[in-house]
Amino acid sequence: MEVVFTYEVVWKPSGIQFENRFDKYLDPTFFQHRIHWFSIFNSFMMVIFLVGLVWMILLRTLNKDYARYHKDDVESDDNDIGEDYGWKQVHGDVFRPPMSFLL
């Protein structure tokens, strides 16, 4: 299947010299720098929402872990045999050698 693409160009004469064509864009009043307050407010509210969401997830996770550890400490004072779970597993990862050490 053959598709033919065509286009048309219409040349219009201009009274502006070639050297002066860009002067319009160099004029400081051409780009009016208006502050977009709605965009700034929207970005600020999005940041606050995302920080709050991460904060709530972190708070729930840490509260759940703290309650579980506290319950385990109260129930098994004499029993030191217990599996670490949650963020307590991270403390041993620092001293554990990697699986593919030579790689």
Q: Does residue 64 form part of some domain?
A: yes
Q: Does residue 56 form part of some domain?
A: yes
Q: What is the pLDDT of residues 34-59, one digit of tens each?
A: 778 899 999 999 999 999 999 999 99
- pLDDT, greater one: 2 or 101: 2
Range of the domain at 63: 37-73
Query: Which of 49, 93, 79, 85 lies closest to 67 in space, CA to CA?
Result: 85
Residue 16 Rama label (left phi>0; alpha psi -120 to 50; beta)? beta
Alpha-helical regions (H) of the chain: 23-26, 37-75, 90-93
Q: Does residue 63 form part of some domain?
A: yes
Q: Does residue 69 form part of some domain?
A: yes
Q: Does residue 5 form part of some domain?
A: no
Domain count for the chain: 1
Q: Does residue 32 form part of some domain?
A: no
Can you give the pLDDT at residue 81?
47
- pLDDT, greater one: 25 or 59: 59
Whole-number Å distance between alpha carbons of 9 and 23 = 25
Q: Does residue 54 form part of some domain?
A: yes
